[in-house]
Structure 1
Amino acid sequence: MCERPSAVAPVPGPVPPAVPEPDLGHHGDTEVGAGLVDLAVNVRQAPLPDWLAGPITATLADLARYPDPAPARAAVAARHRRHPDEVLLTAGAAEGFVLIAQALRGARRPVVVHPQFTEPEAALRAAGHPVERVLLDPGEDFRLDPDRVPADADLVMIGNPTNPTSVLHPAGTLAALARPGRVLVVDEAFADTTAAPGSPGEPESLAERRDLPGLLVLRSLTKTWGLAGLRIGYLLGAPDLLSRLAAVQPLWAVSTPALAAASACASPVAVQAERAIAAELAADRDHLVARLTDLPGVRVTGRPASAFVLLHLPGATQVRTALRGRGWAVRRGDTFPGLGPDWLRVAVRDRSTTDAFIEVLREIMEA
């Protein structure tokens, strides 16, 4: 009796390399070093105006007293036409994400819309949440289709304008994501950097919307006013929702100098100055985009609306290293979910800085 020959096992082919998980803890400040021109951090680099520096400095004589957030909360509420109990002051926007992640542990299906600032997802994961990603398509200029967000997602996080894409989503598109039973977190840390011709306010902001169920708007005061080291931001939303976040916030989380900054930045003088800065920024951004567009192989995605520009450039990792060797720091893109090694984020600066940067970038690419 002949034995049946055993089946021959197939020869395994090469295993494709695993795509590394993005480093959610990497931020632009780690790109900056001594002697480098900083195009990696999206904080405006300018001296503090007297109306802001004065109140901050004045608090240094009264630091023995515990912080009282009430005046600053009232000032922020007045700016956004809200009641003070619809404002929660935080030690920067980053603390807001942590409070959301800690307070909303009952969320069953948290969704983060990427590419965006990585701290929302990092905070959720640190609190034990299973995070689902919705990745927007660069071929569609990272435009948001609300139908792509799962209908049963009960916690949704999205940026507007979005870091790092600089995309400004229409307010109506974001409003379509709000529904009963869902908390919708819109990160407007860069809303004060946006401007539209003929518009006196912040285009597409939801900061004054009180009619959308479950809406939380997160704001930062550190970008336009150069206060990253002071740590001041706030959340806007319904009182019952904010009270859940406040319950997990440490006592006296916001320092007295930061509270003084919040009050000053909510004043009519500050808002008027902010609008002028946003208009100037728009002109500087248009100049940067025009110069980048002249470079072969560089693609600026969509229509940038904030203090930074995202560009696609094959070999961006090597270009970034070469730029660093020539004295320029830019932000790598591969640490953002949905991007990869061929993306760079560049901060908008004054025109002379932009022109100098473009010439160095051109030389590196030609070489």
Structure 2
Amino acid sequence: MLEHGGRLLRASLDYGIARGDWLDLSSGIAPWAYPVPEIPQAAWARLPETEDGLEQAARAYYGATQLLPVAGSQAAIQALPLLRARSRVGVLSPCYAEHPHAWRRAGHELLALADDQVEAALDSLDVLLLVNPNNPTGRLLPRARLLEWHARLAARGGWLVVDEAFIDNDPRQSLADCAERPGLIVLRSFGKFFGLAGVRLGFVLAEADLLQRLADYLGPWTIAGPTRVLGQTCLTDGATHDLQRIRCAAASRRLAEQLSGAGLAPSGGCDLFQYLRLPQAAQLHDFLARRGILVRLFEEPAALRLGLPPSAADERRLGQALAAYQKDHP
């Protein structure tokens, strides 16, 4: 299994700190979870059915004409490589590690690319894969550039796969409204923006034929009935969408200022996290963990990703730890 954020139980064991005493900033998930609605008994008692309101709500929310609900975008990440013959796959790197892992495991040839290497490599690729905004760096590529890349790939039967797990905070940058075009596949995550990662819900936006192939591969009843009720409720709650965007943006801005004030100016980030690339990343990760603050460590390149503190008290706690680190490591 690959490394991910949110492994609080393991950190509790490693550092001897009770689970309830941690400030967990290790995942880029909004720390304010949407309220869970009352779930009708029938959602628990009956097999789930499609087009019960969830798909309609998702199409309206994403501005898409067609989509497929999946059990978290992770399900699609693992399945999509199995729907193509062996291909040459370019991956904008660094990248969410599950993407290259899945394509490599399925037998495809992978090529890690920096942003400025795509133009030269694109016409030799069958698939270009990227996360936008990127995880973990937060880099955001413009729509026009992505659509241009897609057109060049699609002309040769290629795919552009865009993971938009963190784009809900600025949906104007999404390609969701273009995803019916052949060769364009957009992945959307539910848990991050709505703060409900445990729900395990995501959506694939693509042309109808590919969605049908993916649905056939994944099989029936992939989304539990209670999840379908919850997802529909959250996707249609427009007032809370606005509130979530406002408070995430403000918290991310405060986090960036806090890091900069401690001499640790972020190297990137978005409205759900800040990214800090520095040689002593492992040292700072351990320093914070010994004080009950868990952040996400990356080894290559050496970096940290910090999620949003959920309260003013948590911001002060992080600030005190950063001040202590700055004092010990001037």
Band of TM-score, shorter chain: 0.7 to 0.9
In the other structure, the counterpart of 1:98 is 78
Paired residue type of 2:262: L
In the other structure, the counterpart of 1:10 is none
Paired residue type of 2:242: R
In the other structure, the counterpart of 2:37 is 54
How do 1:336-347 and structure 2 match up within 5 A? Answer: 339-341=300-302, 343-347=303-307
**Partners of 1:81 and 1:276 in 2: how far apart?**
20
Distance of aligned partners of 1:151 and 1:306 in 2 relative to their CA distance in 1, 3 Å threshold: farther
SS of corresponding position for 1:184: strand
Give the superposition deviation at 1:107. 4.2
SS of corresponding position for 1:131: strand
1:226 aligned onto 2:187? no
In the other structure, the counterpart of 2:285 is 320
TM-superposition CA deviations, 1:209-250 (whole Å, max 9, x none): 257441111111111222211200101111012122122113
Give the superposition deviation at 1:92. 0.4
In the other structure, the counterpart of 1:169 is 141
CA contact (8 A) 1:178 1:215 kept: yes
TM-superposition CA deviations, 1:285-314 (whole Å, max 9, x none): 111111211223x23114x32301101233
Of 160, 163, 167 in structure 2, the residue corresponding to residue 191 of structure 1 is 167
Of 109, 115, 120 in structure 1, the residue corresponding to residue 88 of structure 2 is 109
> TM-score, with normalisation over the residues of structure 1?
0.79
Higher helix share: 2
Give the superposition deviation at 1:275. 2.6
The structure number with the bigger radius of gyration is 1
> TM-score, with normalisation over the residues of structure 2?
0.88
CA contact (8 A) 1:288 1:351 kept: no
Distance of aligned partners of 1:61 and 1:111 in 2 relative to their CA distance in 1, 3 Å threshold: same
Distance of aligned partners of 1:333 and 1:148 in 2 relative to their CA distance in 1, 3 Å threshold: farther
Paired residue type of 2:248: L
In the other structure, the counterpart of 2:15 is none
**Partners of 1:204 and 1:183 in 2: how far apart?**
19
SS of corresponding position for 2:24: strand
**Partners of 2:225 and 2:242 in 1: how far apart?**
26
Paired residue type of 1:153: L
Paired residue type of 1:277: Q
**Partners of 1:168 and 1:278 in 2: how far apart?**
17
Distance of aligned partners of 1:125 and 1:359 in 2 relative to their CA distance in 1, 3 Å threshold: same
Q: Structure 1: state its 5+ residue gaps.
A: 1-23, 137-143, 195-201
**Partners of 1:344 and 1:47 in 2: how far apart?**
24
CA contact (8 A) 1:107 1:155 kept: no
In the other structure, the counterpart of 1:140 is none
How do 1:204-353 and structure 2 match up within 5 A? Answer: 204-210=173-179, 212-267=181-236, 270-296=237-263, 298-302=264-268, 304-334=269-299, 339-341=300-302, 343-349=303-309, 350-353=311-314
Paired residue type of 2:277: H
SS of corresponding position for 1:273: helix
SS of corresponding position for 2:274: strand
Distance of aligned partners of 1:46 and 1:345 in 2 relative to their CA distance in 1, 3 Å threshold: same
CA contact (8 A) 2:86 2:109 kept: no
Paired residue type of 2:161: V
In the other structure, the counterpart of 1:64 is 45
Paired residue type of 1:29: G
Q: Structure 2: state its 5+ residue gaps.
A: 13-18
CA contact (8 A) 1:36 1:328 kept: yes
**Partners of 1:254 and 1:68 in 2: how far apart?**
9
**Partners of 1:355 and 1:366 in 2: how far apart?**
16
**Partners of 1:329 and 1:313 in 2: how far apart?**
17
CA contact (8 A) 2:296 2:306 kept: yes
Paired residue type of 1:366: K
- How many pairs are equivalent? 313
SS of corresponding position for 2:134: coil
SS of corresponding position for 1:54: coil
SS of corresponding position for 1:293: helix
CA contact (8 A) 1:146 1:176 kept: no
TM-superposition CA deviations, 1:39-81 (whole Å, max 9, x none): 10222233532xxx225x22x4442311112121222123334
Of 30, 35, 39 in structure 1, the residue corresponding to residue 25 of structure 2 is 39
In the other structure, the counterpart of 1:199 is none
SS of corresponding position for 1:333: strand
Task: Say which is worse superposed, 276-285 or 122-131, in terms of deviation.
Answer: 122-131
Paired residue type of 1:318: Q
Distance of aligned partners of 1:78 and 1:214 in 2 relative to their CA distance in 1, 3 Å threshold: same
Paired residue type of 2:162: V
Q: CA RMSD in A?
A: 2.1
